[in-house]
Structure 1
């Protein structure tokens, strides 16, 4: 089956692969959650920190008002691992630019509401990221 002319996918195969990408419970996310949990911290998963903000954080510490986002290198424009896409490059560069702007907007709105936003790259070591998260959570008075 051919894609419509206005489709973002360059082929049926690309469309199938992209649609199969998970939005939660990815391997890096599960590793981070295990590492944070092993430090005795408890959190909510894939929750909106602010009900009025139509964006979800990967880990949310409600009492401490901390939202953790595990950002994928491709989708969020990692300065270390971002590779230029050869096919449909204009679409993808714009998509990643919009994602980055949305991430900045999310962080700003959370800060304005008294929250702390923590960003972790998917390539970060989960144990090190968990320690960084634990330091912030414990500093904000979250009970273990």
Structure 2
């Protein structure tokens, strides 16, 4: 039996995937500390529980993994070969949930920004995007 076929092993791997304080999120926070350090993390009182929130400015930043949130980059477009129907449905639900959260934020006067994992390859461009969003 190969590694991909062992359901117990696959389940253990998926349980180990973190939902907060991921490497991409930490990278965004490191950039923000240089010019806008007074953010709050994972606020449950803000729709969508954004990764980073500026409460007074009503700005929410979501740091999305390309695979998990269905980005149109190479990594986001890659679909697992095993249990493909499950993953297609899961990612579609994530995309719908993300859109609903952004709509709720907008209805409450918030602005939201999504930083994709693949965007972090160009730190200067990511910093520029963040500065424009918060400026």
- Where do 5+ consecutive residues of structure 1 fail to align? 1-8, 139-144
- The answer to whether the 8 A contact 1:61-1:67 is kept is yes
TM-score after normalising by structure 2: 0.86
**Structure 1 vs Structure 2 CA RMSD:** 1.7
Partner of 1:20: 16
In the TM superposition, what is the alpha-carbon distance from 1:49 to its structure 2 partner?
5.2
Q: Does 1:70 align with 2:63?
A: yes
TM-score by length of 1: 0.81
- Change in CA separation of 1:79 and 1:10 when aligned onto 2, cut-off 3 Å: farther
Give the deviation of 1:127 after TM superposition. 4.0
The structure in which a higher percent of residues are helix is: 2
Question: C-alpha distance in 1, partners of 2:58/2:6?
Answer: 41
Q: Give structure 2 stretches of 5+ with no counterpart.
A: none
- Across the two proteins, how many residue pairs are aligned to each other? 127
Cα distance in structure 1, aligned partners of 2:71 and 2:133: 23
Give the number of the structure with larger relative contact order, counting CA–CA contacts within 8 Å between residues 6 or more apart. 1
Runs of 4+ in structure 1 off by over 3 angstroms are: none
Aligned to 1:57: 50
Partners of 2:130 and 2:99 in 1: how far apart? 19
